[in-house]
Amino acid sequence: PVVKYRKDYQPSQYLIKNTNLLFQLFDDYTLVTSELKITRNPLDNRETLLPIELDGVELELVSIHLDGQVLDDSDYEKRAHTLIINKVSETFNLTTVVKILPHKNTSLEGLYTSSGKYCTQCEAEGFRKITFYLDRPEVMSEFTVRIEGDKAKYPLLLSNGNPVDRGELTDGRHFVAWHDPFVKPSYLFALVAGDLDCLEDTFTTMSGREVKLELYVDKGKLDQCRFAMDSLIASMKWDEQEFGREYDLDLYMIVAVSDFNMGAMENKGLNIFNTKYVLANKKTATDADFEGVERVIAHEYFHNWTGNRITCRDWFQLSLKEGLTVFRDQKFSEDMQSAAVERIDQVKIIRAAQFAEDSGPMAHPIRPDSYIEMNNFYTVTVYNKGAEVIRMMHTLLGKTGFRKGMDLYFDRHDGQAVTCEDFIKAMEDANGKDWSLFRNWYRQAGTPVLKVDLEKLADGHFRLNCEQSCPATPGQEHKNPFMLPIKVGFLNNTGHPVKFAETNDAAGVDETLLVMTETKQSFDIYCESDSLVPSLLRDFSSPVKLEYSYTQEELASLFAADPNPFNRWDAGQTLMTQMLMSETSKLTEDELSVVDNAFIKILNDEELDNALKSLAVMVPELNSLIGMSDNVKLDQLFAKHKQLKVHLGEKLEHTWFSIYNTTSGDTSGDRWLRNTALRYMMIANDEQHFELAATQQTHADNMTDELAALQVIANASEGYRSEYIEQFYQKWKEEELVMDKWFTAQVVNDDEAILEHVKALLNHEKFSIENPNKVRAVVGAFVAGNTSQFHNPTGQGYEFLADIIIQLNKINPQIAAGLAKQFNQWRKFDSKRQALIQEQLVRIKSLDNLSNDVFEVVDKSLQ
């Protein structure tokens, strides 16, 4: 496998002005004819014209013409992944015909079929599985596409842009031609052919243009589309209001397909979506599903400006569009839902998954320096930490300054393929800043540790001493300091928020933003109070690990009264984390009562909304605890984690019961709290409360409640399970997405025997190893969601995962590699588990025909 380095970047010597494609879809194969108008890149300053190397993978070359002349065998060379044409001029036309096999394509990259329809996925480097091309994002071309296929089977033939021609052919075939007036890189190309239902609507843009909106789904699913359409309309409006960005084509299409590696894809004018992020109605989708749909619809729509109009120069710059677009979808969700709840969800992802990645063998900066397989770098670091970095800019500049920077970025770079550096520069220039230091966020991997203490210098005068450091990561021993925005406030010794000042004579404020730019820095605080409890890093203002030696009482007082809802939640999490991760093998009675007292206060707080209450009374997830630390005693952690949950269930059983019976269930917050109560009640006594859960499952009029009940039932003691699991199955077996939930509910049971059940599910008629959603629902959910059984000391969980990775390596390398990353944390565990995981990694690495995707992950893990 070849490693590609960011430092080796050179502009492409050639560009493709026009791309003219003909797709002829036949039952067993597809013919792709491509006519490319190629010119020399004006940015190229090499002395000689080199042979042109086109990318192409798994293509059968049928014919090749250069400027209308057939090419001799000696004029070109076809290798495994490239087609090299030796003698070309400054401008020329190249025509190739290739044969491809979409029906056999299980990698779900390039052109493939999914339940009877054709669709594409080209990002990052899938277009080379369709035709020979300069498959790199800086090559932006004007596309014309003609699709021919059987009219009865494929009445719909879609591609990017606007339809410009259509007509009948012989043998029951027809064609449609498309033209996309916007130049685009190949990764944004899309094609769909099928027989689908369509929900139509329109949107009038801020300048008064009418845009047609079309949402295509499998037949019979129209009643699950309204929410996605409304989310699209809301996103279009929001981007106009918040960023002044208007949609640019007259048509916006979304097609939902069941077999999809990612969540969705932002192809110009023709988004292709995983059904999971389109289909939703109250009966089939949970409240969390609705939020997911709204977020992903918005994300792909926002890419039209941040990604499509302005794209990436090369794939090392992926965070340019992804970090920024995640940040934009986060802001959108904060405006649509509760800002605090959204922020908590965002930070949970950072702590559980991104901190884990940052401390493992695949740690990389948000702008990576090298990769073997680009697909491995669609990571929580590039996406979610990338979004945190953009958020810090927003925090430092404020909403107005950030908007100025965005406006300048759009003005300067519309229609271009640019770099992360161009984005930072626009932010700097628009605001007159020098952000040399800020760039370390783009260069350095690893999670910074921020250590803070509070010193009392005199009555009314305190000092916050801050020190930052960042652990070594692969290839980066020494780290320079980061620029850290630190939002702070204070409580006094009676647990009330107090005003304070940064200088002796300034007026008091409730909150301030400290900006740290050095390794060590101190900040003076003036406040008339005997003692202070600092509320640090409010809203998680920098993506760091905070260390402050809070006492349990201090944390309890922040948990009870911090006016910043994020920090209030976080204080509870920190309180429980400290106890769970301490050296002791059991929690003491004192510790347990600190938590249950704190919970009672939260649950009785009439000001706090139910969604925040539910979040506050959740014990930190095992993944998050593992992700945050470098060294984990798993058995001890599992035991204490269980002890805490059982204690909270039992001790507060009456409270849970009364919440369950008095909370209405009309809003998502209500349902959440009620189902949280049900979960704790079942932990306390599943025999006694079983009837409640069974009744809820049977009579629920919405999937949130129905699934919550199924989940607790599937987790109850043996003997209770099958009847209700079967009932759910019979009711929902025709709804694929509901079946995914049904599978997942069954794999998280903390029972030794669960692995056998998981294996049996792989043979279930509704399971398919070729469908990524199903793999995620069973295997992904077991590995990531059943932490204690995945890490069963026998090693059987590890062997199981390795078996699946080996099987998927051939079928779908991208999904296989994603699963292989689940082994990446192995060096944090005890030596026995380390040996067991290492054995599996070695077994995978020794495979013949190991894909680049999986190789890169296991090789780095073993280094």
Which positions touch Zn ion (CB under 5 A)?
A: 322, 325
| Binding segment (CB under 6 A) for ligand DPP, from list 194-202, 222-230, 259-267, 574-582 | 259-267
Shortest distance in whole angstroms from residue 412 CB to ligand DPP: 22
Non-local (6+) Cβ contacts of 135 within 8 A are 55, 125, 127, 128, 186, 187
Instruction: Name the residue nearer to ligand DPP (CB basis): 265 or 625.
Output: 265
Question: Residue 543 Cβ, how far from Zn ion at the closest point, in Å?
Answer: 19
Residue 833 to residue 604: CA distance in whole angstroms: 43
Asked whether 453 and 465 are in contact (CB, 8 A), the reply is: yes
In the complex, least distance from residue 364 CB atom to ligand DPP, rounded to whole angstroms: 17
Closest-approach residue to ligand DPP (CB): 265
Kind of pairing, strands 52-55 and 210-217? unpaired
- For residue 373, the partner it binds in ligand DPP, Zn ion, none, with Cβ less than 5 to 8 A by kind, is none
Question: Of the two residues 148 and 300, which places its CB atom closer to ligand DPP in the complex?
Answer: 300
Return the range that interacts with ligand DPP (CB under 6 A); candidates 1-9, 263-271, 365-373, 604-612: 263-271
Residue 123 contact partner, candidates ligand DPP, Zn ion, none, CB within 5 to 8 A by sort of partner: ligand DPP
- Tokens at 831, concatenated: 């030596």
Judged by CB under 6 A, the chain residues 571 through 590 that form the site for ligand DPP are none
Q: Rounded CA gap, 140 and 129, in Å? A: 18
| Residue 382: φ, ψ to 5° | -60, -40
List Cβ neighbours of 786 (8 Å cut-off, separation of 6 or more). 747, 748, 749, 750, 754
Closest CA to 547 of 466, 489, 486, 493: 466
Widest pairwise Cα distance in the chain:
92
HEC profile for 81-131?
Answer: CEEEECCCCCEEEEEEEEEECHHHCCCCCEEEEECCEEEEECCCCCHHHCC
The site partner of 358 among ligand DPP, Zn ion, none (C-beta below 5 to 8 Å per kind) is none
CA-to-CA separations, 108 to 22, 58, 512, 800, in angstroms, rounded: 21, 13, 49, 24
Q: Which of residues 618-637 bind ligand DPP (CB under 6 A)?
A: none
Binding partner of 259, given ligand DPP, Zn ion, none, CB within 5-8 angstroms per partner class: none
Q: Which of 53, 180, 266, 706 binds ligand DPP (CB under 6 A)?
A: 266
Give the nearest distance from C-beta 266 to Zn ion in angstroms.
6
The span from the CA of 261 to the CA of 201, in Å, is: 28
CB of 303 to ligand DPP, least distance (A): 6
Which residue lies nearer to Zn ion by CB, 117 or 299? 299
Find the binding residues for ligand DPP in span 105-164 (CB under 6 A).
123
Closer CB to Zn ion, 235 or 655, in the complex: 235
Minimal distance in Å, beta carbon 388 to ligand DPP? 16
Answer with the entry of Zn ion, ligand DPP, none that 264 interacts with (C-beta below 5 to 8 A by kind): ligand DPP
Q: Mask: binding to ligand DPP, 289-318, rule CB under 6 A, as x and -? A: ----------xx--x---------------
Among ligand DPP, Zn ion, none, what binds residue 778 when CB lies within 5 to 8 Å by partner kind? none
Residue 337 binding partner per list Zn ion, ligand DPP, none, with a CB distance cut-off of 5 to 8 Å that depends on partner kind = none
Q: Which one of the spans 56-64, 264-272, 544-552, 625-633 is the region binding ligand DPP (CB under 6 A)?
A: 264-272
46 burial via Cβ count (<10 Å: 0-12, 13-18, 19+): exposed
Among 259, 289, 291, 322, binds ligand DPP (CB under 6 A): 322
| Nearer to ligand DPP among residue 156 and residue 264 (C-beta) | 264
Nearer to ligand DPP, 267 or 468 (CB): 267
Least gap, CB of 623 to Zn ion (angstroms):
23
Between 182 and 798, name the residue whose CB sits nearer to ligand DPP: 182
Does position 264 interact with ligand DPP (CB under 6 A)? The reply is yes
SS3 label, residue 516: strand
Choice between 98 and 387, CB closer to Zn ion: 387
Size, binding site for ligand DPP by CB under 6 A: 9
C-alpha closest to that of 517 among 630, 619, 396: 396
The side-by-side arrangement of strands in the sheet containing 191-194 is 110-114, 117-121, 191-194, 156-159
Instruction: In angstroms, give the least distance from the CB of 840 to Zn ion.
Output: 32
Q: What are the phi and psi torsion angles at 333 (to 5°)?
A: -65, -35
The interface partner of residue 262, options being ligand DPP, Zn ion, none and the CB cut-off 5 to 8 Å by kind, is ligand DPP
Q: Give residue 584's Cα distance to chain centre.
A: 35
Q: Which stretch binds ligand DPP (CB under 6 A): 204-212, 260-268, 632-640, 762-770?
A: 260-268
Nearest-approach distance from CB 321 to ligand DPP, in angstroms: 7
Residue 408 burial (CB count, 10 A)? 17
- 628-647 per-residue burial string, b: 16 or more CB within 10 A, e: under 16: bbeebbbebbbebbebbbeb
With CB cut-offs between 5 and 8 Å by kind, which of Zn ion, ligand DPP, none does residue 836 bind?
none
Q: Between residues 160 and 325, which has the closer beta carbon with respect to Zn ion?
A: 325
The burial class, CB within 10 Å (0-12 / 13-18 / 19+), for 118 is buried
Tell me the C-alpha distance between 64 and 76, whole Å: 9
Minimum distance of Zn ion from residue 594's CB (angstroms): 42
| Nearer to ligand DPP among residue 122 and residue 536 (C-beta) | 122
Q: Which does 101 bind (CB under 5 to 8 A by kind): Zn ion, ligand DPP, none?
A: none
Task: State the minimum distance, in angstroms, from the CB of residue 303 to Zn ion.
Answer: 6
Question: Would you give the end-to-end CA distance of the chain in angstroms?
Answer: 16
Q: Does 477 qualify as catalytic in the annotation? A: no
Q: Give yes or no for a contact between 171 and 342, defined as CB atoms under 8 angstroms apart.
A: no
Phi/psi at 17 (nearest 5 deg)?
-70, -50
Active site residue: 125, 300, 706, 736, which one?
Answer: 300
Site stretch for ligand DPP (CB under 6 A), options 257-265, 444-452, 654-662, 831-839:
257-265
The CA distance from 231 to 301, in Å, is 10
Residues whose CB falls within 8 Å of the CB of residue 203, separated by 6 or more in sequence, listed in order: 210, 211, 213, 232, 233, 236, 247, 252
Q: Which is nearer to Zn ion, 148 or 357 (CB)?
A: 357
Q: Give 3-state DSSP helix, strand, coil % of the chain, rounded to 5.
A: 45, 25, 30
> Which residues form the interface with ligand DPP (CB under 6 A)?
123, 262, 264-266, 299-300, 303, 322
Catalytic positions are 300
